[in-house]
Structure formats: C-alpha cells, structure tokens
Structure 1
C-alpha cells in the first residue's frame, strides 16, 4: 500500500513538473524573416543586394504561441565582434571609429514595442534606406527581438533572463572585392569572470566580414625572448569595421608589474598580419586585479609581520646572550 502511495506521489510530481514546463513553453515566441518580395519565409538572416538610395522593407514575422497576448521589443543593432571572436548583434560591442555607415544609421522601425495576440502572428516591417553615395563592401547588422514583459537580471550577473532572437542582415551594393584591414589598437590588462587577461585590441578597419581569423599572441618581458604567456585561435570571425579584445588567459597566475612586449601574428581570410607592442603593468593595477581574482594560486603572501617577529626574537636572543655573558664574567685578578 505504501509503495502505491509513493508511486502516486511520484506520478503527481511528474505531472505537475510537466505542466509547469508546458506552461513555460507556451510563453515562448518565434521570429522568422520573410522575403522582401514574395513574403515567403526564408533562412534565419537576410543577405541582400541593394543599390544607392534604394529603400527596402524587411518583414519580420513574430509568432506568439502563448494563450495570452505578449509584448516584444525590437532593436536595430550594428554587427560587432565579441571578445570570443564571434559575430555579435546584441548592441553591446563598442562602435569602431572606422564604421562610417552602420546598420543602425539606415534601418528604422515604426514601433519598437509590439503586442502579439495569443496564438497569432504579426509581421513587423523594418525599413532600410541606403545612402546616396555608392558603397563598396558589406554592412552588417541585426534585428533583435526580446520579450518586453520580462526584466533582465542585474548587469553584475552578466546574464539576461528574457527570451531573445536576432535576425542578421548583410547588405552589399557592388561586387568590388574588399580586403580585411587588421590593426593593433593597443594592449591592456583586464579581468573576465574574475580571471586575469592580457588583451590585444584588434580592429578590422575594412567594410568586409572576415570569415576566418587566425591569431597567435605571446607576451615576453621587454628585451627578452622567453615567452611568459600565449594564446592561439584559428577559428574566429570579425564583423566589418569592428574591434574586439583578443585575450591571453593567465588562468591561475597573478599579474606581475613590469615592462612587457606583446607579439600578435595571424591571418585574416588568408591575409597575414604581424604586430609588436610594448606595454607596462603598473604595481597598483596588478595588486587591484590580483586582489579581485579568485583563481590565482600564486598570490604573494605578506611576510612583513613574520619578518618583524623573527627579527624581534633574534634581538631578544642576542640581548639574552650578552646579558648572560656579562653576568657570568669573572673579575680579572691583579
């Protein structure tokens, strides 16, 4: 009888959990790009040939599978490159000074917040108007759709709780071949997820997507050839006119102040590049980063108090010996 009771309880818990999962699933929505001409569904992104001053309307179909209406928010973002060497459309990437025409400059949405009725779909038009001047290369961007009813978690957590979809957009006008233009903007120390990094800020200054970026970075003491830290990656991508921090993870090693040299070599779609940059890690920044890192195993210990105690004990012993010798010293006879 008891076993049957436990079985019934287990089945009840499973049913409740399944209902909960089903309820969560019903709150989701989906996003599909439609062909600008035929309005038929197409792959997950737009790859369009356009002309100067041309206007195109990109219909985005948003389907709500929930039993109640939901609100979604749409954002127009420029294509960027995140610190993992992956194309990013979240709008979080730093805008490069080389980006003359961004997707956010030429694309607009009438209503950034849209209500989708229950069990229904709404087509949201995104209007793109190309500049009058002829443009060689590619313009990369993304139409990001997120739930407007769910709040994002605090920035400190680095994780957003709301559902998000992104439709990528690639626009080009000419067949002119544009070659990548890689440059090293600088070297800096930073932390990612409480781990120490030495990062090279790489920039693609050309309006072209780099489909295969290979890079190898190494750090030596200035004037030395001994490699202290290094990193290598042969499967990265870069958005047009974007930059990112290519980092060397020090893993569990502390920053040490001093003068260093970073060397970065690699290929951008077969085009080789090589850079050398001297940089300095200051004592103050090294201490600050090391203090905030939870992974460091070689943190220097503060032995000041130990030295003081040992020195004090040594002085006491020496003073005791001198006192003992003086006390037991026999007077010399005349």
Structure 2
C-alpha cells in the first residue's frame, strides 16, 4: 500500500509540473534541472518575461534559444518539443504536447513555423543552450500564434524505494504576432448539444469554439437548463477563470445527470463572458429513455451503497457503544 501511495504522489507531482496555465519560466529543484530562455532575440517585446513574446514580420527568419541547466550529479537526456497551444476539455489553455487539433478556423500552426524537436544530453553540473529556428510565412499571418517548448527529461530519477521512478517536464511559452497581441477581440461560436454517458454520469456536451487567432483568460460560463417554453430552471452550472488558446475549441460539458434523469427534450441557456464581451447560446438536447435508464441505475446503485454504508456505521457504533456500556456496568459490580 505504501509503495502505491508513493507512486501516486509521483504521478500527481508530474501532473502539477505539466499543468502550466500560462507561459512562464519553469523551475523545480526536485527535478535537478531548470529551463529558461537564453538571450532574448531582438524581436522580443516586453523585456525579460521568462518566456518568448516576439513581434515578427512576413517572410522573416530567426531563432530562439532554450537554456537547460543540469544541477544533478549525472548526465541527463532531454527531449525539447515545440508545441501549439490548445484548450483542454476543462476549458484551460494547454501548452503540453497533445493529439488535440486546433479549430478548423486556424490558418497557421506554430509547430509548422518552428524547427522540429531535438534530443540532447546535458552533462552533470553544466548548462546547454538548444536553438530552434523559425520561418514566418511569406504573406505573414493574422493575430497571434501561441505555443511552447516542452522540455522532457528522459532520465529516470529513482527515489529511495527502487520501485518508484519519477520523470519531470517543464514548458517555456512562446507567442508570435505582427501587431498588438490583443488587437483582435475574441469571437466565439458553439456547436449543437448532445447527450452522452461519461462512465456512469449523464452529460450534455456542446463544442465551444474560439474562431479568432487571439487568446483570452477570465472566461465565465453560466448555464441554466429548462424545458422548452418553460422558465423553471432544472439545472444550473457556473464556470469561472476559464481560458482559451487562439483558434481552438473544447467540449463544454454540462453534468445534467446530477439533477435531471427524466427522458425528454431540454434547452440549455448558455452565457459566456470574456474580455468584456458576452455571448448567448441556446442549445436544445434530448435525453433518450436508454440514456436516462443508465443514469437512474447509477443513482440507485450508489444510493443503495450509501444506505449500506450507513447501516454498517450504525451497527459499528451500536457495538462500540454496547461494549463500553457493558464495561461500565461490569466496573460498578
């Protein structure tokens, strides 16, 4: 059990390291290495930000450098992969490598502009700079291209327990634009809503699309579900502090099964706010009898389980209470 807990802790730590919400300089002493931008190119805007923010021109070529410092006592191997920023299913900008595609509205991809991934070895107690080149399209591009350099340690770090192995990764962000990165306002669209059983949970899902090449943060989503033509709210959901990468999308999930288990037609009223703008979407969806039955079975099963646990707890308390009562009565005798 102890070994499993240590392995789980290692996985959680790795998840924390990979879950950057913004392009920042990355460092973690437990990993025995740090990554940071090398000398900033002349195209850098905003000074020493800890990430690359470049203002470029059509058909321009250039390069950027990633500095890897190995604090460990042994050599370490690293793979550095240029990535495009996408939006995770949780509605957050994601800089990690993924098979997730950009929205169909995307005209350009940062990974097509940057040179390919590299694998290097950094000797112990030394620093190495890895250089990537870029080639801007001849006709340039509109808005912003956003992504990162994902630095992954191929060297296993084994803890005191030889069965526990950790790997570490860090990301340095990069953005490219030809003018002000916030000149374009976001433009959101939403696809149709469909129901699905995710595991044992009944959900309604609609694809939210940012069709402009600009990113934003502080997104708020307010959802109310009613029957068509009725005002009574059957389900509410509120999401705050969301973010979206340029020309990206994600599946906005409504956990309607928490409140709704009856088959029929429903209407989701969805309001999205970001960068001072507001969008309203009304998306109908239908819960089939089959889908509802699965959800009801799940709710009833867990209800039965909780009742069983409640009975067990009451019995345990009764036994413990009876034991102490018997012990007290015995002392009086």
TM-score, shorter chain, exceeding 0.5: yes
Checking the alignment, whether the CA contact within 8 Å between 1:56 and 1:129 is kept in structure 2 is yes
Matched residue, 1:163:
168
Matched residue, 1:172:
177
Matched residue, 2:104:
97
Query: How far is 1:208 from its partner?
Result: 0.8
| Alignment of 1:34 onto 2:32 | no
Matched residue, 1:266:
272
Q: 1:172 to 1:252 in 2, by over 3 A?
A: same
Aligned positions of 1:28-107 closer than 5 A: 28-37=32-41, 42-92=48-98, 93-107=100-114
Q: 1:148 to 1:238 in 2, by over 3 A?
A: same
Please report the RMSD computed on the Cα atoms of aligned residues, expressed in angstroms: 3.2
Checking the alignment, whether the CA contact within 8 Å between 1:64 and 1:70 is kept in structure 2 is yes
Structure 2: distance between partners of 1:290 and 1:60: 53
Query: How far is 1:286 from its partner?
Result: 4.3
| Alignment of 1:116 onto 2:144 | no
Q: TM-score, normalised by structure 2?
A: 0.70
Corresponding pairs, count: 266
Structure 1: distance between partners of 2:142 and 2:188: 18
Matched residue, 1:210:
216
Q: TM-score, normalised by structure 1?
A: 0.69
Structure 2: which 5+ runs fail to align? 1-27, 158-164, 306-333
Structure 1: distance between partners of 2:135 and 2:264: 51
Structure 2: distance between partners of 1:276 and 1:196: 19
Checking the alignment, whether the CA contact within 8 Å between 1:253 and 1:296 is kept in structure 2 is no
| Alignment of 1:142 onto 2:148 | yes
| Residue of 245, 263, 266 corresponding to 1:239 | 245
1:245-266 per-residue CA deviation (whole Å, 9 max, x = no partner) reads 2333358557543221111112
1:214-266 per-residue CA deviation (whole Å, 9 max, x = no partner) reads 22112222333221222123422211101122333358557543221111112
Checking the alignment, whether the CA contact within 8 Å between 1:138 and 1:172 is kept in structure 2 is yes
| Alignment of 1:221 onto 2:227 | yes
Checking the alignment, whether the CA contact within 8 Å between 2:41 and 2:64 is kept in structure 1 is no
Structure 1: which 5+ runs fail to align? 1-23, 152-159, 300-334
Structure 1: distance between partners of 2:70 and 2:261: 50
Matched residue, 1:125:
131
Checking the alignment, whether the CA contact within 8 Å between 1:208 and 1:240 is kept in structure 2 is yes
Structure 2: distance between partners of 1:161 and 1:290: 41
